[in-house]
Copies of this chain bind each other. A is one copy, B any other.
């Protein structure tokens, strides 16, 4: 027996073999290994603004009444805590109605709490959707560039993402139609299971989908839902992190009959990542499949976290926190943009957009500059003490993958460190130009 022990290796599933580490993980590990490095790479939230006082107040309130505490400490249900599901739904519907542009028809068939599922961050919802909708060989259409964790998820179930060109107002609807037409012409429309958009201040570019495109997106998805429903997965993770302008109605609000759009939201950005409460509002026809998969996985996410968020909402602790975040990220974004204006703009050939929310600025360099790990710039920036996410990582694997841009996050670092980081980065860029 002993002699054999080194011979036998694991026989991993096809899924496990696909789920290899993303290149971003190696990058993040490097960041941790280099002390003093200013990471403008991690998409984490600002640590100083985390709601320690609000969390304590909510926890004490929740756990001081033994009756209430017992409920929070017991198992929940697979879809999650019902009061929080109601609160979540009400918040989204209220926000959508507040936008004067919301189509009136959106009131025809409003979703109910039965269509709401609470997940371990919105990421788990995206993972469940990938599992529910995709077989190997299937695909999802998405912005190019898009959220690299999402493309990784799709690839881990054997699917692939097809990038659709996007401008400073989000996905280009004529390009989306052209792609769907192309799929129809090649007989592969049956493999297109969803269209994924980050509708507010997207990761990686900080771009929001323009209102008129939201309506068009739903209409196009419906029009091409011939043999089967092509869902729109609306990832609204950054919606509450708006620091300029008024909130806009979601893509979901344009889905008159509620059969096309899956809305994914989270309290990770607007409250605290550590509670890890995300949610989905699902079309009625899709909810049972997602709940069955979630039932198999974990019978429901941690009930205590859900009860804590519900209590924080009841106590009105989220609005002041959201206000605080808006102020903090407005200042941090301004600090990053001011530093880019001062150090990078004068170099010439570089461009960036001014976001109204979220955590990111997307920086385009001249095409001949390689921001990827194959180029000099990433290494030189690290030598100088600053880290960014190469833009290439944000493009789907099978699409064209331009490699002269980068994602810069103003989430984690202080204003001083942001300014210092951008100055270092500008030095590295200047050498590359």
Measuring CB to CB, which residues of chain A are less than 8 angstroms from any residue of chain B?
1, 4-5, 7-16, 19-22, 25, 44-45, 47-48, 50-53, 55-56, 59-60, 63-64, 66, 69-70, 72-76, 120-121, 123-124, 127, 131-135, 138, 149, 152-153, 156-157, 190, 193, 219, 222-223, 225-231, 257, 259, 268, 272-277, 285-286, 289, 292-293, 295-299, 301-305, 307-308
Least distance between A241 CB and chain B CB atoms (Å): 15
Q: Is the CB of A44 within 8 A of B75?
A: yes
Give the contacting residue for A66; candidates B52, B127, B131; CB below 8 A: B52
Give the contacting residue for A11; candidates B47, B190, B268; CB below 8 A: B190
Give the contacting residue for A124; candidates B74, B138, B227, B297; CB below 8 A: B297
- Chain B residues whose CB sits within 8 angstroms of the CB of A219 once the complex forms: 1
| 18 more A-B residue pairs beyond the given contacts A9-B229, A74-B273, A276-B304, with a C-beta to C-beta distance below 8 A | A7-B226, A8-B222, A8-B228, A10-B286, A11-B228, A13-B132, A19-B293, A19-B295, A19-B296, A47-B74, A50-B74, A55-B304, A56-B69, A59-B63, A75-B274, A123-B297, A274-B304, A305-B305
Q: Is the CB of A52 within 8 A of B63?
A: yes
**In the complex, residue of chain B having the shortest beta-carbon distance to the beta carbon of A272:** B73
- Chain B residues whose CB sits within 8 angstroms of the CB of A131 once the complex forms: 13, 15-16
**In the complex, residue of chain B having the shortest beta-carbon distance to the beta carbon of A134:** B13
- Chain B residues whose CB sits within 8 angstroms of the CB of A69 once the complex forms: 50, 52, 55-56
Q: Is the CB of A52 within 8 A of B74?
A: no
Q: Is the CB of A25 within 8 A of B295?
A: yes
Instruction: State the CA gap A254–B268 with chains docked (Å).
Output: 42
- Chain B residues whose CB sits within 8 angstroms of the CB of A277 once the complex forms: 302
Q: Is the CB of B55 within 8 A of A74?
A: no
**In the complex, residue of chain B having the shortest beta-carbon distance to the beta carbon of A68:** B52
- Chain B residues whose CB sits within 8 angstroms of the CB of A299 once the complex forms: 121, 123, 149
- Chain B residues whose CB sits within 8 angstroms of the CB of A156 once the complex forms: 293, 296
Instruction: State the CA gap A88–B276 with chains docked (Å).
Output: 22
- Chain B residues whose CB sits within 8 angstroms of the CB of A12 once the complex forms: 132-133, 289
- Chain B residues whose CB sits within 8 angstroms of the CB of A157 once the complex forms: 13
Q: Is the CB of B289 within 8 A of A133?
A: no
Q: Is the CB of A120 within 8 A of B303?
A: no
Most buried by B among A15, A120, A134: A15
Give the contacting residue for A75; candidates B70, B74, B75, B273; CB below 8 A: B273
Q: A5-B222, A276-B303 are in contact. Are A10 and B289 (CB under 8 A)?
A: yes
Give the contacting residue for A227; candidates B5, B11, B134, B307; CB below 8 A: B11
- Chain B residues whose CB sits within 8 angstroms of the CB of A47 once the complex forms: 70, 74
Instruction: State the CA gap A73–B7 with chains docked (Å).
Output: 44
Instruction: State the CA gap A236–B143 with chains docked (Å).
Output: 45
Least distance between A64 CB and chain B CB atoms (Å): 6
- Chain B residues whose CB sits within 8 angstroms of the CB of A304 once the complex forms: 55, 272, 274-276, 305, 308
Instruction: State the CA gap A48–B67 with chains docked (Å).
Output: 9
A–B complex contacts, Cβ < 8 Å, 22 sampled: A5-B257, A5-B259, A8-B222, A8-B225, A8-B227, A10-B285, A10-B289, A11-B133, A13-B157, A15-B293, A19-B296, A25-B295, A44-B75, A47-B74, A73-B273, A74-B272, A75-B273, A120-B302, A121-B298, A123-B298, A149-B299, A302-B302
**In the complex, residue of chain B having the shortest beta-carbon distance to the beta carbon of A48:** B70
**In the complex, residue of chain B having the shortest beta-carbon distance to the beta carbon of A67:** B52
Q: A55-B73, A73-B51, A75-B44 are in contact. Are A127 and B297 (CB under 8 A)?
A: yes
Q: Is the CB of A285 within 8 A of B9?
A: yes
Q: Is the CB of B274 within 8 A of A301?
A: no
Least distance between A47 CB and chain B CB atoms (Å): 5
Give the contacting residue for A13; candidates B11, B51, B74, B133; CB below 8 A: B133
- Chain B residues whose CB sits within 8 angstroms of the CB of A44 once the complex forms: 74-75
- Chain B residues whose CB sits within 8 angstroms of the CB of A22 once the complex forms: 295
